[in-house]
Amino acid sequence: MENLIIGLILLIVVATLYLFSLRRADHSKLKKSLTRSLRILIQNSIRLFAIFLIIGMLQNFLSKEAMSNFLLRFRGFSGILAGELAGSIMMGPAASGYPIAKYLFDSGAKTPLVSAFLLSWVMVGIVSMPLEYKDLGRKFMITRNIVTIIGIIFLSLIMGVLI
Amino acid sequence: MNKVKSILKDYALEIAISLIAIVLVILNPGKAYTGFKQALENFRSLLLVMIGVSLLSGYVSVVVSKETIRRYVGKESGFKGVIAGALFGSLMVGPAYMFFSFFKEMVSKGAKPRVVAASITAWAVKLPWIPFMIALLGAKFAIVLNLLIFLFAIVCGYLVELFLGKAEEQR
């Protein structure tokens, strides 16, 4: 539902942009931009579907319960690393990680582990790294991921102190 | 023949994923089928956003001027540009990687890598979902974690740019 609303808002914004420049910019530019958009859409559809497919399969072959039970074996600093690793392999929209986090808490996991899992769930994705590499470059991909992986360790430690 | 080769190379990852999928189908058809159905469902629910992102990417790459990008998220944007990137990340739906093609167009038009990095990091904040998060995980945990993510998004942006170094500065 939320996807639908934001999708519609996005389309309205884009349509307004196109209509607005219909009056100013020359039409050949708009045509070119539409052709390019179509090419991006086709390319994105293939790439994103492949990622959705691998995530869908992962979720079925690696159940959330099995992963949580594996995570619960770790304590302290190794818990942070385990949570981070699990979050990087599994991936999904931020909100779908919350129920897993709750399950972890209910089963006795500590704040740093759950934080590390939730953070890497969205920020680091082994599955999406090839796409990041292709679109944003090798240097950017490597730098951003390393900074984030180290940052998550610090954030999780801070969470452990604050909560 | 060359064209076939370049397509193979361009979609190497997708082909690899299809091969893995085929192996999984042989191993356990039931689970693989559920996974496939989930992927389709995901695709369907995000299709509208995907169309929007593609149209926006095309628009940015052809119509929007370099000066505009530079002013709002580029060289001249400074701290405000990073904040704008982080806010964009906290508000958008769908996975961050769905917007990578859009980021690519933005960067090639002069957007700063720090803005993109801040945006991707801030993707972990989902403003519309915070009430849900509070209900599940408690107010203190939810609010502190989201504040930390937002701060880290800004720091991460600057760190990424620092490590990317002067080479990027020349753009």
Reported ipTM: 0.92
pLDDT of residue B171: 47
CA atoms within 13 A on the CB side of A53: 21
The residue assigned the tokens 């091969």 is B19
Note whether B93 contacts A55, CB cutoff 8 Å.
Answer: no
pLDDT digits (tens, 9 = 90+) for A59-101: 888 888 889 999 999 999 999 999 999 999 988 888 889 999 9
pLDDT of residue A6: 87
pLDDT of residue B55: 95
Would you say residue A26 has pLDDT above 80? no
pLDDT digits (tens, 9 = 90+) for A91-140: 888 888 999 999 999 999 999 999 999 999 999 999 999 999 999 999 99
Interface of A with B in 8-47 (CB under 8 A): 8, 10-11, 13-14, 17-18, 21, 25, 29-30, 32-38, 40-41, 43-47
B74: helix, coil or strand?
Answer: coil
* pLDDT under 50: residue ranges of chain B: 170-171
Lowest-pLDDT choice from A30-34, A116-120, A146-150 = A30-34
A107 φ, ψ (degrees, to nearest 5): -90, 5
Helix axes A27-61, B100-108, angle to 10 degrees: 140
Q: What whole-number distance in Å separates Cα of residue A144 and Cα of residue A28?
A: 37
Note whether B113 contacts A140, CB cutoff 8 Å.
Answer: yes
pLDDT of residue A93: 80
Q: What pTM, to 2 d.p., does this model score?
A: 0.92
Is A71's Cβ below 8 Å from some Cβ in B?
Answer: no
